[in-house]
């Protein structure tokens, strides 16, 4: 059996995903983050985009789209919390993903413009 980590993706309104994963890839503000079992503790902001989950005994990754939030990695726990919005892409049928990803990209661009605007 492969080593796994406990993953929880939550928003203020609901729990989006909870389960075991072999690894998780998230869109960090400084680039993609790969989280594997026994990862060092970490707390960082993530940007809008796809969270990729490699679930045990499945070849295809599960995708969860978020509009940003925070990543917390603790010993024996990985939690992605603070999501503002999400859409889970169906395996083999990501029809729902493009509109959500477009909105997430738009939100990210707006945030960049606010941060780089002169004060």
Q: What is the CATH number of the domain that holds 66?
A: 2.60.15.10
Segment 89-117 mean pLDDT: 57
Whether 79 has a pLDDT exceeding 60, the answer reads: no
Residue-level length of the chain: 119
Q: Between 61 and 13, where is the model more confident?
A: 61
- pTM over 0.75, yes/no: no
Cα–Cα distance between 111 and 117 in angstroms, integer? 10
Residues contacting residue 45 through CB under 8 Å, at least 6 positions apart: 28, 29, 68, 69, 70, 71
Domain that holds residue 21: 5-116
Q: How many domains does one find in the chain?
A: 1
CB of 15 within 8 A of CB of 8?
A: yes
Percent with pLDDT over 70 in the chain: 61
Average pLDDT, the chain: 76
The token pair at 18 is 């909870």
């Amino acid at each position: 059996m492969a080593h796994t980590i406990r993953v929880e993706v939550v928003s203020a309104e609901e729990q989006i995903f909870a389960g075991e994963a072999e690894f998780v890839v998230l869109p960090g503000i400084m680039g993609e983050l790969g989280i594997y079992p026994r990862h060092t503790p970490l707390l960082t902001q993530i940007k809008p985009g796809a969270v990729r989950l490699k679930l045990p005994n499945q070849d295809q990754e599960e995708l969860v789209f978020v509009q940003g939030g925070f990543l917390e990695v603790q010993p024996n726990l990985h939690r992605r919390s603070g999501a503002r919005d999400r859409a889970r892409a169906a395996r083999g049928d990501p029809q729902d993903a493009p509109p959500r990803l477009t909105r997430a990209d738009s939100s990210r661009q707006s945030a960049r413009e606010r941060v780089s605007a002169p004060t």
